Structure formats: C-alpha cells, structure tokens
Amino acid sequence: MNWISRIIGGRGDSEALDPGVAEILAHWQSLPDADLGRAHFETRYVVLNTEATGLDLDSDRLLAVGALAIDAGLISPGDSYYATLEDAPSLALSRLLAFARKDPVVVFNSAFNLGMLEPVLDQRLGVSLDVQPIDLYFLLPALFPERRGSPARLADWMDSFAIETFQRHHALGDGWAIAQLFLAAQSRALAQGAGSPRALQELERAYRQYRRKA
C-alpha cells in the first residue's frame, strides 16, 4: 500500500468491512478502561512489541506484532500473541487489540513501537490505542541507576540482567525479553512504593522530565 491508496482508500478499505473484524473491534471498543490504581498483583499488563523492515518511521514498514501478558506478576506462555501483517493485516491487528484489551501497555521505546503501530491501526481499523504506555526505555534507568545511568539499548539491559531470548529482533522474541525486564522493574518499583500502573507511569514521566532538565 502506498501513500496514494492511503489517501484514496482511507477507511473505506474493503478489508475493514469484514464483519468478523468489525465485531472484534466493536467488542474491544466497548471494554471499560483499566483501573490504573490497582496493585501490580491485581493487574494484567500487556507488553507490546513490533517488528519492522527497519528503524525509519517514515520509510519502513510494520511486519509483525507480538504481545505477552503479565498477570499478577507472572508471564504465562499461554497468554501471548504473535502475528505477521502479510495476509490479513486488519484481522491480525484487531486480534492484537482483543488480546491487549484495555490493559496497561508496556513497551520498550514507545516512540518507535507506537510510532510504527498507531498509524497502521488508524489506517486499517480507524482506531487508536490512545494509552500512556509504560516505556521501559525510561523506566529502567529510573529504577536501576546502579546498572545504567541513562537510557540504553534493549541488548544492554538484557546483558545487565543476563536475560536471554530465543530470537532477537523478532516481535515476540524481543517481547519475551522485555516482559522479563518488566518483572524485575515491577519488583523494584514495588519496593520503592510504586505499586500500581499509575505509579509506574508517574515514575517514568518524572524521569523524562528530569532528563530534559539535566
């Protein structure tokens, strides 16, 4: 799909009319927002991760999406999602939303991941996640200053915690590593008194502001 068909096609895309997709989407839209004040052990977090042809938001294309749930502080392989956007992108995306529900979203580098995902969601399904993600890119250095004093690449954090994964640069493979990093982050945050998704968002925001001033 090029920019012309984007403009012309818009939401009138034939695929978006698929009744199956519409139904999933309607259900997702009807879900109430997550209660961000609940404790970690009562919350289901969703790690979202993308895989693209490259790192350029303007020229590169989204290839696949991966997601893992962290429910009550545990990662369960049964509660995960992976899909490529090759065959039926609208269906794949709507199912991603159905998987994520309206639960708090965790990403590593939201500028890139959501920068990739949001336009495609808008174009294919006419929706937006519209969430304030918990971005580990900022949250990790805020919580573990003794390990890394400033934002670092995913590979560096994996090294630091000796975390491994089955496949790097794969939406779910990296997602698995990010989910493990999030478990460590959640535990450290709790020890510091940040016991809810909202508290994590606030920690991350405060760190960003501090970076900007420094």
Partner 1 sequence: MSTTAAQQLLVGASTDFLRHFSPFDRMEPTALGYLAQHAVLGFHPRGSEILTPEMGPARHFYIIQRGKVQARQTGAAVVTEYASLTMGPGECFPIGAISAQRPSTNAYVAVDDSFCFQITADEFLHLMQISPVFHLFCTQYIASLLNQSRQQMQTTFAQRAAEQQTMTTPLGQLLKREPVSVSPDTRTRAALEKMNELHIGCMVVTDAEQRPLGILTQSDLLPRVVLAGFDLERPIGEVMTANPHQLPVTASAYDAALEMATHGVRHLLVVDSRSRLKGVISERDLFSLQRISLRQIRAGIENATDVDALQHASRDIRQLALNLIAQGIGAEQLTQFISALNDALTRRIIELALDRHDLLGVDFGWFAFGSEGRHEQTLSTDQDNGIIWRCPELQDVDAVRKRLVAFGREVNQNLAACGFPLCKGNIMASNPDLCLTLDEWKERFGDWIREPDPQALLNASIFFDFRVLYGNERLGDQLRAWLNKLSRTSTNFLRMMAANALQVPPPLGRIRDFVVEDDGTIDLKKCGARLFVDAARIIALRTGVDSSSTVQRLRQASGKMGVSADEVSAIIDGFHFIQLLRLRSQHLETEHDAAGDNRIDPDTLNELDRRILKEAFRQARKLQLRLKLDYQL
Q: Which part of the chain contacts partner 1 (CB under 8 A), choosing from 9-17, 20-28, 164-172, 202-210? A: 164-172
Q: Which part of the chain contacts partner 1 (CB under 8 A), choosing from 13-21, 52-60, 79-87, 121-129? A: 79-87
* Residue type at 126 in one-letter notation: G
115 burial level (CB within 10 Å; 0-12, 13-18, 19+): middle
String marking each residue 175-214 x if it binds partner 1 according to CB under 8 A: -x---x--xx-xxx-xx-xxx-------------------
What is d(CA 135, CA 191) in angstroms, rounded to the nearest whole number? 19
Helix (H), strand (E) at residue 138: helix 136-143
Tokens representing 52?
């693209």
Residue 157 within binding range of partner 1, rule CB under 8 A? no
Tokens representing 38?
């609940």
Judged by CB, which is closer to partner 1: 3, or 166?
166
Judged by CB, which is closer to partner 1: 5, or 129?
129
Tokens representing 96?
């991603």
DSSP 94: H
Residue 138 within binding range of partner 1, rule CB under 8 A? no
Dihedral, CA atoms, 213, 140, 45, 52, nearest 10 degrees?
A: 90
Residue 119 within binding range of partner 1, rule CB under 8 A? no
| Residue from the set 12, 19, 32, 77 that interacts with partner 1 by CB under 8 A | 77
What is d(CA 73, CA 53) in angstroms, rounded to the nearest whole number? 32
What is d(CA 123, CA 174) in angstroms, rounded to the nearest whole number? 26
* Shortest distance in whole angstroms from residue 199 CB to partner 1: 9
Tokens representing 188?
């450290």
* Residue type at 117 in one-letter notation: L
Judged by CB, which is closer to partner 1: 76, or 128?
76
193 burial level (CB within 10 Å; 0-12, 13-18, 19+): exposed
| Residue from the set 166, 212, 213, 214 that interacts with partner 1 by CB under 8 A | 166
Residue 76 within binding range of partner 1, rule CB under 8 A? yes
| Residue from the set 28, 45, 81, 138 that interacts with partner 1 by CB under 8 A | 81
Please report, as ranges, the residues that interact with partner 1 according to CB under 8 A.
39-42, 66-68, 73-78, 80-83, 92, 95-96, 99, 161-163, 165-167, 172-173, 176, 180, 183-184, 186-188, 190-191, 193-195
